[in-house]
Structure 1
Amino acid sequence: MNERQNTRDAAPLNAINGQVAEALVGEVWPSAQPGEEAVLYGHVELEPRDPVEVRSLQTFRLMYTVGRYGLDDTGAIRIVFRAMGDGQALQTTNPSAPNYVTASSSSGVPLTVEYRSRGASARPRWKSLTVNVTGGYLREGDVITVVFGDTSGGSPGMRVQTIAEAAFEFKVLADVCAVGQFIPIPNTPTVDIVPGAPVQWKAVLPSLRRPGETFRLGLKAEDKWGNPTDRASGQFRLACTLPVNGLPSELTYPLGEKSVVFEDLSVSQPGILRIQVLQAESGDVVAESHPLVVREGVYGGYWGDMHGQSGESIGITTSRQYFDFARNKSFLDATGHQANDFQVNNAFWNYLNELTAEYHEAGKFVTLPGYEWSGNTAVGGDRNVYFRTEGRQIHRSSHALLTDRSDINTDAPNANRLFEMLADEDCVIYAHVGGRYADIGYAHDPRLETAMEIHSAWGTFEWLLTDGFELGHRSGVVCNSDGHKGRPGASYPGAATFGAYGGLTCFYAKELTRDGLFECLRRRHHYGTTGTRMHMEVRASFTGSATLFDQDPKAFPGTASSSVNEVMMGDIVQTDDDTLTLSLEVIAQAPIERIEIRNGKEVLKTLRPYGTGDLGERLRVLWSGAEYRGRGRTTEWKGRARFLGATIQRMDKINIWNHERLVEQQGSDTVQFDTITTGNYGGFDVWLDNGDGARLDLVSNHGSIDMALGDIGLEDVVMEAGGLERRIKVFRLPHDNPVREMTESLEIPLKPVGDNPIWVSVYTEDGFQAWSSPIFVYRQEG
C-alpha cells in the first residue's frame, strides 16, 4: 500500500464511536516530558458514561489516579474542553448554582480549583479546569476526584452543550513534576450527548429543476436546538401541488432515524412544487417544503454550504460525520470542508482529500476539496480555497499548530503571496469574515477570488462586498455557515457567541458537477441566503447595444464577448444605455416582507407586496448591527418596548436563536429583551389592540424611541446607534400577509460613468434575507 492509503486506513481506527482521531488533529503539546511513556503519569476514569440529552443538567465524577511519577507539591491536573462547545461555564464559588465543580484527593492533600474559558490552554481546547495540589504531594495510586455539577450544596448540576455529539471529551493533562508543562494522559474518557425530543419537522426541496430532472426530498425532525433527532416517528400523508414521479403518497417515519430521504424524484410538467407533510389521522400540517420551480432552462439551482469545520480543527464531530450530515441530514447538493490551515497536518489534509473523493457523486452530491487560508487580518485575513480536483498542495498561512515543519517552505505568509502561489492552480477563492476578517483592500485577485461571503453563523457582513465596489472589484455573493458544530447546511448557533443561523448559496449551474459549479462561480451566477431556500431570479435587459464579457475584462484583457440584450445575475456587461429594465422573480417559503433594488450601496427602490391601505395593528421591532469588524463584534441589546395605551394580543420572536436569551412579553403591554446581534438582525412582531393616543416607549442600552403608534406606518422609523450599522427600526405590517411570490419589472437609471453594481436583497417575514450577485453594468464617457 502507498502512504496515502495507509493514512486513510489508520485514521478511522482511532475514531472509535465518533471520537475524533488524535492523529488528524493539529494540536501541540510540550516537546519536553518527564519520561518516555505518558501512561506513567496516571490514568483517568469517568462515571457515569451513559448518554445524556443536550442542554440537560448532569453530574459527572472524574477520577484521576496518580501514576509512577507521583504528583508534586504545586503540580496540577487540567481537564480541557473544546472551544466551540456551548455548555455553560463551570464555576467553583457558588455551591447552589448550576455548573458547580469540586475536587478532592483520597489522601486528604488540599486542592484548589480554577476554571478559565480562555488563556490557560491552547486551541482547540480553550476551556480548562485546573486542579492544583497545595500544601502537600500525591503518591502513585492516590486519586483526585473532580465532581462536575456537584449537587451536594444545592446545585442542580452541570448544564451540557446544545450540540449533539458522539464522544464528548473530558481530556485530562497532568503537570506531574510541577514545572508548568501539561502532558495529555493517553486515555480520554467520553460521553455521548444525544438529541432531545422533536419540536419541529422540516421538509426540504431544492429550488429549481428542469422537467424530468431528478431531485431529492428530505424529511427530518429537529429538537429545540436544531439537532436532527431519532426520537420522532409517525404516519404521514404527502400533499403535492404538482405530480411527483417516484414519491409515495403516504409514509411511515421510523423511530430511531434522524432523517428520511426520497431519491430520484422528478416532475414532468412545469410549475411550482410545494409539498405538505400531514398527520395521517388528523390531517394537521406538520411541515411544508421550500418551493421548487420546475421549468425549462439552461440552469438548475443547486444548494450548497461550502464552508465549515469539524473536530479535527476548531470544531465538533468528525469530518466524516460532517460530510454525512451535509448529504443526509441537511440535504445539500454540494459542500466543502474548510479547516483552518495552521491546524491541518499532512495526515488530515490527505484524509480530507480522500473524503471529498469518496463522497463526491456527480449529478447527486458534489464536494470540493479545499481549506481555509487563515492569515491574520494584517496580512489579508480569511480566505476559502477550493480546488477542482484532489491531491493539490496546501499553501498555509503559517504552521502555528503544526510540529511537522518539512513543508513550511510551501507556506503563503500573506494573501498576496497566496494569490501568487495559486495563480496556475485550477481553483476559486472566497473572502470571508470569521474570527479574523478579510481585508480586500490589502489583497484581491479577481482571476481567483470570485466571491465575498457576506453571511455566516458569525453574522451578516454586506460591507465585505460593498467595500469592493469602491475598489472596482466585481465579486459575487455567497453565504455559508462557517459552522464549527459539524452541521453544514443546518447550522444553528446554539447558546454560544455565534449570533446567526448559517447561510446557504444557490448555484445556477448547467449540471450538478464540479465543472458546473466552477463555471457558475467564475461567472458569479449564484445568490446567497441566511439559511432559507427561496427561488430568486434577477435579469437585466437593454434597449440599445450591450456587450457581455465571458470574464472580467479588467482581469482578463481580450476576454471573449458577445452582443446581447439580456443578462443574468453576476454578469459583467457594457452598455451605452441610460437605463436598463430589471426583471426579478422571488418565490419563497414564507411571506415576503420587502425587496430592495440596489445600485452599489444605494437602495434605489423598495418593493412590498402590500401598501399603506393594507396595514394592520401589527408592529415589527428589529435591532441589528455590530460593534466593529473584528472578533469582538457582538452587540448586546438590552431594554424594553412598552406599548402605552395598547394591549398585546400576540407576540412572535424573529431570529432569536438562543432560547436562553430574553425576548419575552411582560404584562399586557411590554416586551423585554436581552439578546445579541453580530451584524445580522433580530426582534419581534406584536399584534396590538390599540386605544386612543397609544404610544411606543422603547428604551434600550443604545438609545430610545418615544412616539405615537399612529405615526408608525409603512416606512421604517430608525434609531441609529453608532457602531457598525447598529440601529433599531420599527414599522407596521398587515395583520396577515399571504404573499410568497413576487414578479416585478422596473426601469433602473444608470450612472453615466463606471460600474453600476445592480443587485437585489429580499426579506421574508420569518426573518430570513437573501442577496443576488450583482449585475455589473458599466459605462464609459465619450
Structure 2
Amino acid sequence: ANDHYITQARWASIRRDTAKAERPGEFVAVLGCEWSPPTKDGGDRNVFYQQDEPRMRRSGRHFGEIDEDPEPDLMTAPEFHAAFGEKAVLCNLHVGGRPTNLDWHEPGIEPLFEIHSTHATSEWFVEDAIERGYRVGITAGADGVYGRPGADHPGWRQNRNVRSGLTGVYAVALDQTSLWQAFSARRCYGTTGERISLGVEIEGEGMGGEIEASGDEISVAVRIAGTAALERVDVLRQTDVIDSRQLAGADADGALRILWSGAEKRGTAADQRVIWNGDLIAERGRFTAAAPVNFHTREDVVAVDDEGCRLRWTSATAGNRAGVLFHFDGPDDTRLSFRSEPCQFDVLGAELRQGTRIIEAGGLKRRVEIGPAPDTSASPDADLRFKIPVRVGTQAVWVRVIQIDGAMAWSSPVTVHRH
C-alpha cells in the first residue's frame, strides 16, 4: 500500500500479519510498503525490510491522527536516501502512479527495477536506468492493490493496462536470508505473468553478475522453458539488440498475423496507453477466421463482419504486443487497408504472404507488424548459444524472450567490462 495511507495502527497490523504468514521452507513473507511522493520529489519506491521494523517513515500523510506518529516524514528522495541508506532494506523502483524519478538513485539499497506491471510493459524505464550507467536487477510485479500477486488484470482499463507480471529469482534456499542475498545480487528476471523459466550465463557468470572480457567477443548461454511456443530471443548490449534468434517458422496452414505494440509516451498507465481500435478491409476476398493475440480486457475484441471483407477490433497497448491471427482467402493482387488512429497503410495479398512487413508508428516504439503467423507447434523450450561483440568500456548485456502468444521475459543484465 502507499505509505501515505498507513497509520500507526495499520502498520502494526501489517507487521503482525507478515510474521504470521511466514512458513519456513514453504512460504516467505516479507514486510514492505511503498514510499510514494510525487515523481518530481522522487516517485514510487517499493521498500522491503529484512527484519521487523516498528517505525513507519512516510512520504506524507493522507489521513487524520488523534495520537500523532512522531516519526518525521521523508518527503523527497534525498531525505529518503539519507534515512534508509544504511538500513537493511531493499527497494524496487517502478512505473506506478508516480513513476520513480531516476535522477536520484542509491545503488546500495536500490538494486531492482520493474520492467512490467499492471500499469504497462515499461522497457523504456529499464533502458533509461541502463543508459545512466546504473546496475539493474530486473523484476516484474503487479501493483494491482487487490492482494492477488500474479493474478491481477486491468479490468475496464481505467488506470491499468495489462495483466500483472512475475519475478523469478535464483536463490539457494526458500528463506529470508537466501532471497535477500539473491535480490541484492540482482540474480532475478521478470515475465509478463507467465511462469517462464529463464537461465542466462555470460562467460559462465549468472544474471546480475560482473565480468572482465578478455577479448572482443563473449559467449552468452540461454536456457528457456516457456509456457507457449518460442518466437524469438534477443540479446541486448546496453539498449541495442546485438543478436537475435528467430525460433518459430511460418505457420504451415497459411495463417496470417497483425501485431501492434508500443506506448504513447513515458509516464503512468494512462500516459503510456495507445488505442489501436481499427480494421483491416479487403478489396476482394474474405477473412475466414480470426482470433485475438494477447488481449487483456473484456473491452478487447476482434470480429469479422458478415460479408467477410472486414476484420475489426478494439485493443490497446502500453509497451506490450497485441494483435490478431487470421486466415484470408483472396488473390495476391488484392489490396488490404489497415486503418487505426496511430497509423494507416495498404498492403497487397502477395506482400502479406511473402514475409513480415513492419510499419513504424511514432510514439514510444509504436509499430505494426503484418505477415505470416508463427508456427504454433514450435517448441516452448530452447538451449541457445550466442557469440556477441563487446566494446571497450562498460556495458550491460541481457536477454529478452518473446513467445508467440505475446508473453515476454527479460533477464537481469550482466555487467561486462573490457579494457
Q: TM-score, normalised by structure 2?
A: 0.93
Q: Are the counterparts in 2 of residues 343 and 402 from structure 1 also a CA contact under 8 Å?
A: no
Match for 1:639: what amino acid? G
Residue 692 of structure 1 aligns to a residue whose secondary structure is coil
Q: Give distance in 2, aligned partners of 1:399 and 1:460.
A: 30
Q: Are the counterparts in 1 of residues 12 and 54 from structure 2 also a CA contact under 8 Å?
A: no
Aligned match of 2:357 = 717
Q: Give distance in 1, aligned partners of 2:232 and 2:353.
A: 14
Aligned match of 2:398 = 759
Q: 1:687: Cα distance to partner? A: 2.7
1:489-511 alpha-carbon deviations (Å, 9 max, x no partner): 21122223221000000111100
Aligned match of 1:197 = none
Q: 1:471: Cα distance to partner? A: 1.1
Aligned match of 1:660 = 299
- Structure 1 pair 714–607 and aligned structure 2 pair: CA distance change class (3 A): farther
- Within 5 Å, give how 1:573-588 maps onto structure 2: 573-588=211-226
Residue 686 of structure 1 aligns to a residue whose secondary structure is strand
Q: 1:703: Cα distance to partner? A: 1.3
- Within 5 Å, give how 1:555-594 maps onto structure 2: 566-594=204-232
Matched, 1:596 2:234: yes
Q: Give distance in 2, aligned partners of 1:627 and 1:479.
A: 21
Q: Are the counterparts in 1 of residues 35 and 46 from structure 2 also a CA contact under 8 Å?
A: yes
Q: Give distance in 1, aligned partners of 2:66 and 2:253.
A: 65
- Within 5 Å, give how 1:37-56 maps onto structure 2: none
Residue 215 of structure 2 aligns to a residue whose secondary structure is coil
Q: 1:377: Cα distance to partner? A: 0.5
- Structure 1 pair 604–447 and aligned structure 2 pair: CA distance change class (3 A): same
Poorly superposed stretches of 4+, deviation over 6 Å: none
Q: Are the counterparts in 2 of residues 616 and 735 from structure 1 also a CA contact under 8 Å?
A: no
Q: Are the counterparts in 1 of residues 231 and 247 from structure 2 also a CA contact under 8 Å?
A: yes
- Structure 1 pair 609–690 and aligned structure 2 pair: CA distance change class (3 A): farther
Q: Are the counterparts in 1 of residues 8 and 69 from structure 2 also a CA contact under 8 Å?
A: no
Q: 1:655: Cα distance to partner? A: 2.1
Q: TM-score, normalised by structure 1?
A: 0.51
Aligned match of 1:398 = 60
Query: What is the aligned counterpart of 1:623 among 249, 260, 283?
Result: 260
Q: Give distance in 2, aligned partners of 1:685 and 1:762.
A: 20
Match for 2:42: what amino acid? G
Query: What is the aligned counterpart of 1:434 among 79, 89, 96?
Result: 96
- Structure 1 pair 450–713 and aligned structure 2 pair: CA distance change class (3 A): farther
Q: 1:416: Cα distance to partner? A: 2.2
Q: Give distance in 1, aligned partners of 2:178 and 2:283.
A: 57
Matched, 1:676 2:316: yes
- Within 5 Å, give how 1:100-499 maps onto structure 2: 339-403=1-65, 406-407=68-69, 409-440=71-102, 442-497=103-158, 498-499=160-161
1:330-363 alpha-carbon deviations (Å, 9 max, x no partner): xxxxxxxxx1010111111111111111111121
Q: Give distance in 1, aligned partners of 2:282 and 2:28.
A: 51
1:725-754 alpha-carbon deviations (Å, 9 max, x no partner): 222222322454331111111111001222
Q: Percent identity, aligned pairs only?
A: 30
Match for 2:323: what amino acid? G
Q: 1:574: Cα distance to partner? A: 2.2
Q: Are the counterparts in 2 of residues 366 and 514 from structure 1 also a CA contact under 8 Å?
A: yes
- Structure 1 pair 447–513 and aligned structure 2 pair: CA distance change class (3 A): same
Q: Give distance in 2, aligned partners of 1:583 and 1:712.
A: 34
Query: What is the aligned counterpart of 2:276 among 612, 633, 637?
Result: 637
Q: 1:426: Cα distance to partner? A: 0.9
Aligned match of 1:145 = none
1:502-537 alpha-carbon deviations (Å, 9 max, x no partner): 000011110001111111111111110000001111
- Structure 1 pair 707–385 and aligned structure 2 pair: CA distance change class (3 A): same
1:92-141 alpha-carbon deviations (Å, 9 max, x no partner): xxxxxxxxxxxxxxxxxxxxxxxxxxxxxxxxxxxxxxxxxxxxxxxxxx
Q: 1:380: Cα distance to partner? A: 1.2
Q: 1:682: Cα distance to partner? A: 1.7
Q: Are the counterparts in 1 of residues 229 and 376 from structure 2 also a CA contact under 8 Å?
A: no
1:38-85 alpha-carbon deviations (Å, 9 max, x no partner): xxxxxxxxxxxxxxxxxxxxxxxxxxxxxxxxxxxxxxxxxxxxxxxx
Residue 333 of structure 2 aligns to a residue whose secondary structure is strand
Q: 1:615: Cα distance to partner? A: 6.2
- Structure 1 pair 666–381 and aligned structure 2 pair: CA distance change class (3 A): same
- Structure 1 pair 682–454 and aligned structure 2 pair: CA distance change class (3 A): same
- Structure 1 pair 350–375 and aligned structure 2 pair: CA distance change class (3 A): same
Higher RCO by CA contacts (8 Å cutoff, separation 6 or greater): 2
Residue 144 of structure 2 aligns to a residue whose secondary structure is coil
- Structure 1 pair 402–575 and aligned structure 2 pair: CA distance change class (3 A): farther
Aligned match of 1:122 = none
Match for 1:511: what amino acid? A
- Structure 1 pair 713–569 and aligned structure 2 pair: CA distance change class (3 A): farther
Residue 433 of structure 1 aligns to a residue whose secondary structure is coil
- Within 5 Å, give how 1:602-613 maps onto structure 2: 602-611=240-249
- Structure 1 pair 716–517 and aligned structure 2 pair: CA distance change class (3 A): farther
Q: Are the counterparts in 2 of residues 350 and 391 from structure 1 also a CA contact under 8 Å?
A: no
Query: What is the aligned counterpart of 1:689 among 314, 317, 329?
Result: 329
Residue 277 of structure 2 aligns to a residue whose secondary structure is strand
Q: Are the counterparts in 1 of residues 18 and 31 from structure 2 also a CA contact under 8 Å?
A: yes
Gaps of 5+ in 2: none
Gaps of 5+ in 1: 1-338, 542-565
Aligned match of 2:181 = 519
Residue 593 of structure 1 aligns to a residue whose secondary structure is strand
Match for 1:717: what amino acid? R
Q: Give distance in 2, aligned partners of 1:706 and 1:732.
A: 16
1:649-697 alpha-carbon deviations (Å, 9 max, x no partner): 3212122221233322224232212222222232111133342324431
- Structure 1 pair 725–418 and aligned structure 2 pair: CA distance change class (3 A): same
Q: Are the counterparts in 2 of residues 611 and 714 from structure 1 also a CA contact under 8 Å?
A: no
1:395-448 alpha-carbon deviations (Å, 9 max, x no partner): 1111133435733653211122212111221110011011111111x2101101
Aligned match of 1:732 = 372
Aligned match of 1:243 = none
Q: Are the counterparts in 1 of residues 229 and 248 from structure 2 also a CA contact under 8 Å?
A: no
- Structure 1 pair 678–590 and aligned structure 2 pair: CA distance change class (3 A): same
Q: 1:643: Cα distance to partner? A: 4.1
Q: 1:393: Cα distance to partner? A: 2.3
- Structure 1 pair 404–772 and aligned structure 2 pair: CA distance change class (3 A): farther
Q: Give distance in 2, aligned partners of 1:646 and 1:539.
A: 49
Q: Give distance in 1, aligned partners of 2:237 and 2:355.
A: 20
Match for 1:362: what amino acid? P
Residue 685 of structure 1 aligns to a residue whose secondary structure is strand
